[in-house]
Amino acid sequence: MRLFESRAALTTYMRLAPVDVVVADFDCDDAPADQLAAALRQDEHLHRRDFSIIALTRTVTDTTRNAAVSAGIDEVIVKPMSPRYLLERVLARTRRQDHPVRSAAYHGPERRHRLTLPPAGIYARKSDNVIPLFGRPRQHELH
C-alpha cells in the first residue's frame, strides 16, 4: 500500500509499476475520485490498465452515482467506515477476475451483463391471515 500526495505522483508511479487497486476520495480537492478515475482509465501509458477503483464519499447522491459509473469506478464506499471494512473490500477487489471493457469512449468494469432478477409481481393472498394454534380450527355448528 502506498499513499500519494498528488494525482501526478500517482500517475507517474502507475506508469512505472503495476497497481491492483486505487482508493480515491470524492471529497479530495486536488483530484476528486471521478476525475481521477476518468483520467486513469483513459491513460494509455499506464503499466497495467486492468485495476479496480474504490471511491470514498460522504454521501451517495444521484450526481455521485452517475459520476462514478461514467468514470469507471468499480465500487463506492460511504464514509465513515472502519479501516477493517476498507481492507476487506480492497482484498476482495484483488481476488476478483473481472475483465474490464476497453474502448475509445469507456474503459472500466463490464456492467452490461449483470444478473437480472425476475420482475416482482403482485402477490395475492392465498389463505386467511389466521393461524390455528391448537389443532384444527373448529367449525361453528348451527342448531
The pTM is what? Answer: 0.65
Query: Which residue from 49, 20, 25, 45 is spatially nearest to 35, judged by alpha carbons?
Result: 25
pLDDT score of 77: 93
User: What domains does the chain contain, in order, with CATH numbers?
Assistant: 7-96 (3.40.50.2300)
At residue 130 the predicted structure's pLDDT band, cuts being 50, 70 and 90, is: low
Query: Which residue from 23, 12, 18, 138 is spatially nearest to 92, judged by alpha carbons?
Result: 23
8 A C-beta contact, residue 37 and residue 53:
yes
The mean pLDDT of 72-85, rounded to a whole number, is 90
